[in-house]
Chain A
Amino acid sequence: MPAIEVQDLKKYYGDTRAVDGVSFAIEQGEVFGMLGPNGAGKTTTTEIIEGLRLPDSGTVRVLGLALPQNTRRVKGLIGVQLQTTALYPRLTVREVLDLFSSFFPGEKRSTDTLIDMVNLHEKEKALSKDLSGGQRQRLSVALALINKPHIVFLDEPTTGLDPQARRSMWETIREVQKSGATVFLTTHYMEEAQELCDRVAVVDAGKIIALDTPNTLISQHFKESVIEFQLTGEAPPEGTFRKLKGVTRPGIRENGKVTMYTTDSTATLGGLTDLAEAGTVKFDSLYVRRATLEDVFLKLTGKHIRE
């Protein structure tokens, strides 16, 4: 039995197609990521599966239970972390956890265990309004773990966190997976999806435009390396870089930043150096790298994931 099964889900707000015919299935124990820019429909999809919103059409089954008929039961089996994380500002971390704990009837983790899991020992007596963004985010994740959920939903759990706090959140998410739970994660950080997810659905404008493991997605779309640099002088005419040796497809220019894909990076760099010496182009911040999920997104949609 899959953890989550979604068939042809649709949700429109007026003319906006927030979710426009989304289908997928998630196996138990998987870390599944939805990757896409803000407004792509990630949160709406997530909230329909959590039983917080009703779709206009389409079917959802969570752990074999159809929604919305089994909403109450499903809510007892899943753990939810919402994107906004303000919680009872004048209660302490421990009080918030104790309070939410009382909402679940079945088996659950103790408040001590939860504080331990998200590493909030030194803050357990602090009022939640006095927590930093990262601490509040951790508290919010702890709330999603109270009822030993079969599926944990994390909606952009690292948005607004500094790199160190993000790493520590990733550790927590890996631990959750080790405990046997399925993790459903939305993010607009491609590193995060690449780092954590077994499979990734790339979404844009309410549709899934690609779905596979991060490595398959990358190798499917790119046999090439990526060369990036920043133009400093006058922009050369369109097609200048396309003619360089090894370049496979039209490059993408955004704000003077050029992204090109090549099967022969040595030859392409040589050609680029010639152009620079001839004074045709001026650039700096040049580097060569492997393709990432971001490039996949860029290729599929023609735009960067963060704008």
Chain B
Amino acid sequence: MNAFFQLYRASLKEYTRDRMAMFWTLAFPIFFIVLFGIIFSGNNDTVFDVGVVVEDKSQIGTALEQVFVKVPAFKVTEGTRDALLEKLKHGDLRIVIIIPNGVSDSVSSGKTANIETYYDPSNQTTAQIVLNIVEKVVDGFDQQVTKRPTLLAIKPVSIASDRLRAIDWLLPGILAMALMQLGLFGTAPALVQLREQQVLRRIGATPLPRITLLGSQVLHRLTIAVAQTLLILIVGVLMFKVTVIGSAILLAGFVLLGASMFLAIGYLVSGLAKTQESVIGISQLINFPMMFLSGLFFPVDIMPEWIRPVVSAMPLTYLADALRQIMVGATPVYSLGLDSLVVGIWLVVSMALAVKFFRWE
């Protein structure tokens, strides 16, 4: 136990004396938040220009239109399909919602009706927020009209969702990104260095059980993951007034689950890479696609169809989705159960592979 504690303390000391490691794991995510926070600060309490086309002039069609008009964040312009789509192209509108003919018929016959939405894909973050609101609104309306019983006793708190700003949307994603980079850049190069400099071999020449060494390293990384989470929350709440609404226990659970999973991937990378240079290369190969295809900065539904299977296989998609739901009450893409299942499967598979490929020398 003493050896475990000493190793844990030693690796924390090494970490705090390593400016690069500190920068990439702590300063870099904060830098991202501040950068995006400033870029999108103009969106605070912004009213979005929304076009609504009512082709279905029935009671249901007009009622739905009224619901959109009442959304405080929307400034609704009405018009014909062609006129409003033209305005969207010119950038005068953020989104055009079309209530097509036949909505009321579908609803009364119990079929699903499609509300069409058009948006400018060059402004992803805003589009994502607006879409999010539209979804909420339609959902609520759907329940009213069809008089379905509410299955959940408590409806997700909607204050955050209705007024979800860019920074609210981004903050949990950046936390997920930070956990991924802790596992990749904060773990794999350090391990390869320990191996290259034969520190692992030197320790292997003592009676220390190897599991003690591994255990202390894992605890060290999880400690940093907790530090990252706290730091990101503090900056988000204090600087950008992000309303954090979710359960602290659920948040801690997902942070530890996600950090463990990326840690396992980091160990796997360190086993596959032969040198310091190749470890960085392999890590980037994992980092970049995940960063850009997991819906951290671009919403998943604007991506081409063929890439969707890749997106829905990537663990970061699920971790970010879960953190977004828990922290700021964003609309779920998947259920928390599915999120934890996918991340859990990735954890188990990566761990098994990491054990298989891990080398002490």
Contacts and interface: CB of A to CB of B under 8 A. Distances in A.
A128 to B, nearest CB: 10
B10 A95 contact: yes
Interface in A55-78: 72-73, 75-76
Contacts of B201: 52, 82
Interface stretch (A99-107, A111-119, A279-287, A290-298): A99-107
B225 to A, nearest CB: 21
Interface string B9-30: 0100110011000000000000
Interface residues of A, number: 26
B66 interface: no
A99 B6 contact: yes
B77 interface: no
B3 A102 contact: yes
Given A52-B201, A82-B198, A82-B202, A103 B14 contact: no
Contact of A86 (B6, B197, B204): B197
B199 interface: yes
Nearest to A144: B205
A245 to B, nearest CB: 55
B359 to A, nearest CB: 13
A90 B205 contact: no
A103 B208 CA distance: 5
Interface in B109-153: none
Instruction: Decide if the interface of chain A is mainly helix, strand, loop or mixed.
Output: loop
B205 A50 contact: yes
Contacts, number: 60
B207 A75 contact: yes
A88 B15 CA distance: 11
Given A99-B6, A99-B7, A103-B3, A86 B207 contact: no
B205 A76 contact: no
A158 B24 CA distance: 39
A102 B14 contact: no
Contacts of A205: none
A167 to B, nearest CB: 26
Closest 3 CB pairs of A and B: A86-B197, A103-B208, A102-B6
9 contacts: A52-B204, A90-B18, A99-B7, A99-B10, A102-B3, A102-B5, A102-B6, A102-B7, A105-B207
